[in-house]
């Protein structure tokens, strides 16, 4: 793996150069080609989106969650590590009834 010197994101190989999808920075590949492992891009159900405009709904909750907007007891949720590795992850919720979004920090 090669990480971007500008923003720290993982870079990918494209047309013989290493390109950062986050900031667009490009540079020559460091090291030998044998040192790199190529993986396939994740698609479809392998991805869990947490962005505000994400279409993927995540996983359904049990009845222990209540939406503050409409009082519905079911929401979709996804989990994302938003802090340091030694901190608990953040759960992002979306109400199945009204679409209200909120997050829960453990």
Q: Which residues are part of the catalytic machinery?
A: 86-87
Alpha-carbon distances of 50 from 68, 72, 75, 76, 104, rounded to whole Å? 19, 21, 14, 11, 13
Tell me the C-alpha distance between 13 and 35, whole Å: 13
Report the run of H or E that residue 101 belongs to, with start and end.
strand 101-105
CA distances from 58 to 13, 65, 99, 103 (A): 30, 15, 13, 13
3-state secondary structure (DSSP) of residue 102: strand
């Amino acid at each position: 793996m090669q990480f971007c010197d500008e923003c720290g994101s993982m870079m990918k190989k494209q047309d013989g150069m290493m390109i950062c999808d986050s900031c667009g920075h490009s540079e020559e590949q460091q090291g030998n080609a044998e040192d790199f492992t190529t993986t396939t891009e994740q698609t479809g159900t392998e991805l869990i989106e947490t962005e505000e405009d994400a279409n993927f709904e995540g996983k359904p909750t049990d009845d222990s969650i209540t939406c503050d907007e409409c009082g519905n007891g079911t929401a979709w949720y996804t989990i994302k590590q938003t802090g340091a590795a030694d901190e608990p992850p953040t759960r992002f919720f979306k109400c199945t009834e009204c679409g209200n979004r909120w997050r829960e920090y453990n």
